[in-house]
A = this chain, B = another copy of it.
Amino acid sequence: MDATLRQLAAYVAVARAASFTAAAAHLHVSQSTLSRAVADLERVLDARLLERDTRNVQLTAAGLETLRVAEQIVGAHESGMKELRRYLLGESGVVAVATLPSVAAVLLPRMISAFRRQRPRVAVRIMDGLERAVLGRVLSGDADFAITTVGASPDRLDHRPLIRDQFHAVLPEGHPLAERDEVTWEDLAAEPFLAVGPQSSVRRLTDAAFAQAGAAVTPAAEASNVATVGGLVAAGLGVSAMPALVLPLLGPGHVVHRRLTGPVVERRLDVVVRARRTLPLAAAAFLDVLEEFRTELPPGVSWMG
């Protein structure tokens, strides 16, 4: 049979103190308990570990080796439990956030620095991707939660609104529409439209907005990367429409943006978690930080809830 953790811990205490009585006082148990525990250990190992001559307790060679091993085992238990507790209290570990590239680039950095001021020992892993991939990360458990648009509300996921993000017209510098303060979807429909790829949630929203405005728009060009779309606009190949958070990602080209109405279209970014799962405490703490993180946002972006 194997030695109990209790026997090993008792033995370590007695061997270190070289005294049953002293070790008992130190551990706040009775001396008889330790006497028995050590005797049990010796019986289990079938070896004499301590030489007791009423006045002194002295380790045998086997006792020395046993002490070494027992310290390892007991130490592994103690440090492991301590580590685990820290993790479970959300004081260490990794928070994995899945989110859209625009959120990852524009909002997350500030959120993370606020979070890490509060929990410096918790790392944050960012997984950016398009809505479908992002939701998949949450479903599979790779990510603790997501901040993303949610098209068709999928099964096994809970979500709640976090941020409102208004669409803006994206125009080349010097374009006639740029002279106005506001542009309508109908205005845009008259120009060559540069769209993001069909996988993007932005594309779904622009398609819906044109339909709502009663315009049938076939994109003049598509690119999966928004920076590419920005470049196309800057080069004068057409116009586009992007949520406010995406505007900083349009690249260094000379583009301008204007409020986009008729209708005002908003992208809603939700916090998405797995249904019927309790979040790891560190992840929950991140969301708590988000609750209080009501700092100023770029124009056209606002908090919800």
Residues of chain A whose beta carbon lies under 8 Å from any beta carbon of chain B: 2-5, 45-48, 51, 60-62, 65-66, 69-70, 72-73, 76-78, 80-81, 83-85, 87-88, 93, 141, 144, 277-278, 280, 283
- A84's partner among B66, B81, B144, B277 (CB-CB below 8 A) is B66
Query: A144: nearest residue on chain B (CB-CB)?
Result: B61
Work out how many copies of this chain go into the complex: 2
| Contact of B48 with A88 in the complex, beta carbons under 8 Å | no
User: Are A2 and B81 CB-contacts (below 8 A) given A46-B88, A76-B76, A88-B47?
Assistant: yes
User: Are A62 and B77 CB-contacts (below 8 A) given A5-B5, A48-B278, A69-B83?
Assistant: no
**Residues of B with C-beta under 8 A to A65:** 84, 87-88, 93
**Residues of B with C-beta under 8 A to A3:** 81
| Contact of B46 with A62 in the complex, beta carbons under 8 Å | no
Query: A44: nearest residue on chain B (CB-CB)?
Result: B81
User: Are A4 and B2 CB-contacts (below 8 A) given A65-B84, A66-B84?
Assistant: no
Most buried by B among A73, A141, A277, A280: A73
| Contact of B87 with A80 in the complex, beta carbons under 8 Å | no
| Contact of B61 with A84 in the complex, beta carbons under 8 Å | no
| Contact of B69 with A80 in the complex, beta carbons under 8 Å | yes
| Contact of A45 with B277 in the complex, beta carbons under 8 Å | no
| Contact of A277 with B60 in the complex, beta carbons under 8 Å | yes
**Residues of B with C-beta under 8 A to A283:** 61
Query: A5: nearest residue on chain B (CB-CB)?
Result: B5
Q: Please provide the 3 A-B residue pairs with the shortest distance between their CB atoms, ordered closest to farther.
A: A76-B76, A61-B280, A69-B80
Shortest A58–chain B CB gap in Å is 8
